[in-house]
C-alpha cells in the first residue's frame, strides 16, 4: 500500500533533502534544499506521488489536473495518467510566438481543476497559476504540493480561499 511514510522513505533513500547553504527561488537563504527535480525524475517516486494524489481526489468530480512549469509538469502528467483526467500546463508567462497561450491544454468554462506543485515556500508561483486558471474560466477545487517548507504557503492559500494540501511537510521529513 502506498503511504505518506513510503514516500518519505523514498525521498530519503534518493537524497532529495540536502544540508548546506542555499538560495531559494524566493531569494531567501536556507540551510537545507529540497531537490524535487531529482525526485520527480525517478519513476518510482513520481508514481508514488501520482497514486497518493489520485487516491485523495477519487471521490471528487475533477475535470482537469494542472501544474505550473517546470517542476510541477511531470507531477501533473503522472497524476493525469494515473487518474485518467486531462492535463493542463501553466506557463510562467505567455510566449511571444505560436498560439501565445498561458495555459496549454483544453480548459473549458466551469471546469473543476486541481493544481499540483513540487515544493512550496510562500506559495507565490502556485497562486499565480491558480489565478491564471480562474481568469480563464476554471474553478480550482484543491491544490496539492509534494513538500511544504512550512514558511507561509498554507496561510497564503487560506487567505485566497483555496486549501493547500501537502503530501508531506518539512517537519514530517525531519
In whole angstroms, give the CA distance from residue 120 to residue 16. Answer: 15
**Cell of residue 99, nine digits:** 498560439
Check whether 77 is labelled as a binding-site residue.
no
Check whether 79 is labelled as a binding-site residue.
no
Check whether 25 is labelled as a binding-site residue.
no
What is the helix (H) or strand (E) element at residue 80, kind and residue range? helix 72-83
Check whether 91 is labelled as a binding-site residue.
yes
In whole angstroms, give the CA distance from residue 141 to residue 111. Answer: 10
Check whether 30 is labelled as a binding-site residue.
no
Check whether 142 is labelled as a binding-site residue.
no
Beta sheet of 139-148, edge-to-edge order: 103-104, 87-90, 64-68, 112-120, 139-148, 164-169
Check whether 3 is labelled as a binding-site residue.
no
**Residue 109, phi then psi, degrees to nearest 5:** -55, 125
Check whether 15 is labelled as a binding-site residue.
no
76 CB burial (10 A radius; 0-12, 13-18, 19+)? buried
Check whether 120 is labelled as a binding-site residue.
yes
Residue spans of beta strands (DSSP E) within the chain: 17-23, 29-34, 64-68, 87-90, 103-104, 112-120, 139-148, 164-169
Binding site members: 91-92, 95, 117-125, 149
Binding site members for orotate: 121, 149
Binding site members for 5-phospho-alpha-D-ribose 1-diphosphate: 91-92, 95, 117-125
Amino acid at each position: 500500500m502506498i503511504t505518506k511514510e513510503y514516500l518519505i522513505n523514498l525521498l530519503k533513500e534518493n537524497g532529495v533533502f540536502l544540508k548546506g547553504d542555499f538560495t531559494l527561488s524566493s531569494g531567501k537563504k536556507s540551510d537545507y534544499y529540497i531537490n524535487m527535480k531529482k525526485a520527480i525524475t525517478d519513476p518510482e517516486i513520481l508514481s508514488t506521488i501520482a497514486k497518493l494524489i489520485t487516491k485523495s481526489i477519487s471521490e471528487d468530480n475533477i475535470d482537469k489536473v494542472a501544474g505550473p512549469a517546470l517542476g510541477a509538469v511531470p507531477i501533473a502528467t503522472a497524476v493525469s495518467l494515473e487518474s485518467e483526467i486531462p492535463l493542463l500546463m501553466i506557463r510562467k508567462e505567455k510566449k511571444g510566438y505560436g498560439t501565445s497561450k498561458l495555459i496549454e491544454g483544453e480548459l473549458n468554462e466551469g471546469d473543476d481543476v486541481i493544481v499540483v506543485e513540487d515544493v512550496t515556500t510562500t506559495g507565490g508561483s502556485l497562486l499565480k497559476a491558480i489565478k491564471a486558471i480562474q481568469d480563464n474560466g476554471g474553478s480550482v477545487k484543491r491544490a496539492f504540493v509534494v513538500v511544504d517548507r512550512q514558511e507561509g504557503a498554507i496561510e497564503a492559500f487560506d487567505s485566497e480561499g483555496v486549501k493547500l494540501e501537502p503530501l508531506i511537510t518539512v517537519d514530517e521529513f525531519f
